Amino acid sequence: MALAVVPFTVGHLDAAADLYVAVFNAAPWHDRWTATTARPRLADTLATPGALGFALLEGDLLGFVLGFAEPWFDGAHFYLKEMCVQSDRQRTGLGTCLLLHLEQALREQRIERAYLLTAHEGPAQAFYAKHGYYTSSKMRVMARRLDPSDR
């Protein structure tokens, strides 16, 4: 069956949630997603203003990329929020295919910057670096744990 890259729509959410669970519960992430937790995460991203994504199909869903454009003072920036490829089809060029489709669509919308979060020194970092993404020297991700018993 031929590969096809199509715009990501609501109709892809169920298959995308199943794929997300399978990919991110496996190495190197070892998350604990279920379809019940993954689907609303993806649905919320898709429902965000400026949402844009692509699904890679070969009959079944093999991968997807999804994020949204955010207004910025000099135009819009794109937050690439989710991306994954079926585990047994990784490193065969499918992620590259999805990313290039996304970037072309962003260029057509005159969006000049994309950014994302990923694990430090993880395999995904190598993938994005190969495609020209760099670690920002200006920005830091900051986080805080909130213990419900603290005031």
Ligand X SMILES: CC(C)(COP(=O)(O)OP(=O)(O)OC[C@H]1O[C@@H](n2cnc3c(N)ncnc32)[C@H](O)[C@@H]1OP(=O)(O)O)[C@@H](O)C(=O)NCCC(=O)NCCS
Residues that bind ligand X (CB under 6 A): 23, 83-85, 90-96, 116, 118, 123-124, 126-127, 130
- If the CB atoms of residues 94 and 114 are measured against ligand X, the closer one turns out to be 94
Nearest distance, CB of residue 129 and ligand X, angstroms: 8
Residues ≥6 apart with Cβ < 8 Å to 44 = none
Q: Are strands 60-72 and 51-58 parallel, antiparallel or unpaired?
A: antiparallel
Strand order from edge to edge, sheet including 4-7: 4-7, 51-58, 60-72, 75-85, 113-115
Nearest distance, CB of residue 55 and ligand X, angstroms: 13
- If the CB atoms of residues 44 and 75 are measured against ligand X, the closer one turns out to be 44
Residues ≥6 apart with Cβ < 8 Å to 18 = 35, 38
- If the CB atoms of residues 7 and 93 are measured against ligand X, the closer one turns out to be 93
Nearest distance, CB of residue 116 and ligand X, angstroms: 6
- If the CB atoms of residues 45 and 90 are measured against ligand X, the closer one turns out to be 90
- If the CB atoms of residues 91 and 107 are measured against ligand X, the closer one turns out to be 91
Nearest distance, CB of residue 126 and ligand X, angstroms: 4
Of 84, 80, 88, the C-alpha closest to 21 is: 84
Nearest distance, CB of residue 23 and ligand X, angstroms: 5
Alpha helices in the chain, H assignment, sequence order: 13-24, 35-47, 94-108, 123-130
Alpha helices in 25-147, H assignment, sequence order: 35-47, 94-108, 123-130
